[in-house]
Structure formats: C-alpha cells, structure tokens
Structure 1
Amino acid sequence: MKVIVLLDQIQAGLGGKEKADTELGGKKLAMGAAETLAKDLAKKDGSLMATFYCGTAYYQANTDLVQGKITRMCEKMQPDVLLVGPTYDYPDFSRMACEVGLAVQTGSKLPVVAMVASEKNTELLSEFKTQLDIIKMPKKGGAGLSDAIDHALALCQLKVAHADRSEFVSQYCY
C-alpha cells in the first residue's frame, strides 16, 4: 500500500504559526508527523510515497489552486490512498485537510482518509463526516494517538482492498 500524507507547515516540521504562508510543496520522504506514520506503514507492508505540506494561510488564500495541484499530483504519482492529517485539534489545518481530502476524493478515483480531533472542530466534523471518512483522534497531547494511527492505516487498507468498511467506519469514524 502506497500512501501520500498531507500536513500543514507545523506538522511537517517547517515552522509554527508564523510560517502559515508556506506555499504548497512536497517531498518524497516522511516529514514531521509523517515519520511515525511511515514507521507504522512499514510494519503493514506499506510505504509512504511522499509528504505534501501547505501553510494554512497560504491554503486559505489559494484554495482552488492548492486543491487542484494536490489532485493532479496524486493522479500523477498514483498512490493507493491519500491520508490527510493527523490534524489534532488545529481548526485551520483540520478545515484544509477536510476540504482538500473531499476535493481529491471527488476529483479523482483516489480514496481518502482523514484524521481529525473533535475538540475545536465540532462544526467542521458535522459538515464533512457524511462525505469523508474521518478517523477519531485525540487533541494534541491527548492519549490514544497510536490507536488512531492504527485505525487510520487499517481504514486505508480496507479502502485499497475495496473491502466492506461500514462496520469499521461506524466504530472508528465520526
């Protein structure tokens, strides 16, 4: 299973809120929070193809551009799945992840899995949970992150295998 991960500038390790204007980019390696995902993927005979990253302010100013570029990059690179997040309880990153995830899912044949915490994101989750599979995860510093990562990767595997995931989604997604 080949996975591309989308992170904001903070989770990619490119700076804090002062770097929210970081342009969309990507590297064919695990960056920041994607390093943990890459290690867990390797245990499941999967691999991280690339980490895409984008500052939240840059995204807000260039929504259509970013969504289009990510969709085209995914089509070109042909991963098996796009994982957006983990976003923890960061509202701007959570919105970017859900909007980009939905754009890729509807604009291509690529399955998408999102990881979002409910804290600070209740309205967002209500808006997207029927259109996008969103794994329940803890807020930053909360307990249960490794379980959430396991659930996200298991859902990725189910999607790649085109397996029935209704019971899994009802248990681990919003």
Structure 2
Amino acid sequence: MKIVMIYDQIQSGLGTKDDRSLPLGLLKGPVGPAIMMESLLGQVGGRVVATLYCGWGTYGSNPDEVAGKLVAMCHKISPDVVMCGPAFDYAEYAEMACRVAADIESAGKAHALAAVSQENAETIDRYKDRVLIVKTPKKGGTGLNDALRSMCLIARALTEGTDMAQLKRRACF
C-alpha cells in the first residue's frame, strides 16, 4: 500500500508557526510523524512514498489553487491512500488537511483521510460527511500512538474495502 502524507510547515520539519509562507513542495519518503508510523505501516503492508507540504499562509492565500495543486500532485504519485495530518489543534492546518483530504477522496483516484483534534470542531463539522477524520490529541496531549495506529488501520481498510464500522466509531469523528 503506497501512502502519501500531506503536512504543514511544522510537521514537515521545514518551519515553525511563524514560517507560514513555506511554498508547496515534495520530499521523497517519510518525514515527521510518518517516521514514527513506519513500523505501524509495516504491520498493515504500507509505506510512505512521498510527503507533500505547504505552509498555512501559502494555503490560506489561495486555498482553491493550493488544494487543486496538492490533489494533482497526489494523482501523479498515484498512491493508494493519502493521509493529511496529524494536524493536532492547529486550526489552519486542520482546515487544510480536511479540505485537501475531502477533495482527494471526491476525485476518486485515491482514498484519503484527515487527522485532527477535537479542538477543531467547526472544521470537523464542515468535513466529517465528506471524508474520514481520525481523532488525534491536541499538540502535547496523550494518545498520539493510538491515533497513528488508527490512521494505519483505516488506510488498510480503505484499500482492502473491508468493513470498518467499528473502527470508525472508535477512531473517527
């Protein structure tokens, strides 16, 4: 199972909260939280083939254009699943993650999921009927390993087409 991760400037390791204008880019393989997920992904037959990233300000200045470019980049890479997040409680990243995941899912060329914390309630409400949104802790909160495991299990279920009703009740909003 080929996975693409989509991160903000912080999760990509290329910036801080203040580096909002980080341009859209691509790194081969896993970075950031995906490195923590490698063993979990291995257990479900997955591997991260690329990481796409974008600063909050870059996305926020033209969300339609940037989301479209991220979707197009994913189509070129042709993954089985795209994971947007974990966005934790960063509101701007949560919006980007959910929007891009929903756009990828609706395009029908790959499955997608977003991962955000409950602090992003408005964003969750806007997108929860369009894309799976995995529950994560807020930054510094407990439960990150469980959230990453859930992301991997959902990715496998999406690609295999297996029933995930119980998993969704436990792990998603």
* Range class of TM-score, shorter chain: over 0.9
Partner of 2:172: 173
Structure 1 unmatched ranges of 5 or more: none
Partner of 2:124: 125
Structure 2: how far apart are the matches of 1:5 and 1:114?
10
Partner of 2:86: 86
Q: Secondary structure at the match of 1:17?
A: coil
1:108 deviates by: 3.2
Post-superposition Cα deviations, 1:137-173, rounded to whole Å, max 9, x if no partner, equal 1111111100111111000000000112222212211
1:40 deviates by: 2.4
Percent identity between matched residues is 36
Letter in 2 for 1:170: R
Post-superposition Cα deviations, 1:68-122, rounded to whole Å, max 9, x if no partner, equal 1111121111111000000011101000100111111112321111111012x11
Q: TM-score with structure 1 length normalisation?
A: 0.94
Structure 2: how far apart are the matches of 1:23 and 1:106?
25
Structure 1: how far apart are the matches of 2:88 and 2:170?
19
Moved over 2 A (4+): 37-40, 42-45
CA contact (8 A) 1:115 1:137 kept: yes
Aligned residues: 173
Partner of 2:11: 11
Structure 2 unmatched ranges of 5 or more: none
CA contact (8 A) 1:12 1:34 kept: no
Query: Where does 1:128-143 land on structure 2 (aligned, <5 Å)?
Result: 128-143=127-142
CA contact (8 A) 2:37 2:149 kept: no
Moved more, 65-74 or 15-24: 65-74
Across the aligned residues of Structure 1 and Structure 2, the Cα RMSD in angstroms comes to 1.2
